[in-house]
């Protein structure tokens, strides 16, 4: 009887941990989707994105937020984090440059700090 009770407790404990982990991952993913959608919607208005561009920019922003969140969770010194974020931003800019036309990219660059601040709020306050 004690073995059954002990096994049941261990199993229930493992299920509870799995449930908590799954809920945390889903909530984090939801926050990333929310942040990427908010920034991309703002960019759509400012840059006059068409539907195809919107979809591609949304994907770029989601990828950036996922990578930034992972880098933040991995941690490191301030200098290491700054290097990681600079590399992520450069990669994002390169991808956006391939999606946007010259005029849109020029407007994007002028508003880049605003977009970055908004994205940063989502990956720092996950």
pLDDT at 83: 92
DSSP class per residue in 8-64: HHHHHHHHHHHHHHHHHHHHHHHHHHHHHHHHHHHHHHHHT--HHHHHHHHHHHHHH
Q: Is residue 55 part of a domain?
A: yes
Walk along the chain (126 residues) in steps of 10 and give the mean pLDDT of each run.
67 63 56 86 92 96 90 86 91 95 92 76 65
pLDDT at 1: 59
Full residue range of the structural domain in which residue 37 is found: 27-125
Q: Is residue 39 part of a domain?
A: yes
Phi first, then psi: what are they for 40, rounded to 5°? -65, -35
Helix then strand then coil, in percent of the chain rounded to 5, is 90, 0, 10
pLDDT at 120: 73
- Structure tokens of 39? 């920034």
Number of domains composing the chain:
1
């Amino acid at each position: 009887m004690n073995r059954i009770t002990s096994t049941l407790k261990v199993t229930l404990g493992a299920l509870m941990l799995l449930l908590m982990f799954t809920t945390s991952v889903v909530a984090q993913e939801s926050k990333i989707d929310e942040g990427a959608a908010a920034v991309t919607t703002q960019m759509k208005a400012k840059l006059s994105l068409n539907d195809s561009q919107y979809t591609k920019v949304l994907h770029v922003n989601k990828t950036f937020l996922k990578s930034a969140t992972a880098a933040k969770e991995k941690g490191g010194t301030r200098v290491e984090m700054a290097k990681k974020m600079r590399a992520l931003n450069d990669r994002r800019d390169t991808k956006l440059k391939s999606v946007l036309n010259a005029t849109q990219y020029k407007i994007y660059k002028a508003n880049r700090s605003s977009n970055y601040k908004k994205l940063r709020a989502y990956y720092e306050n996950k």
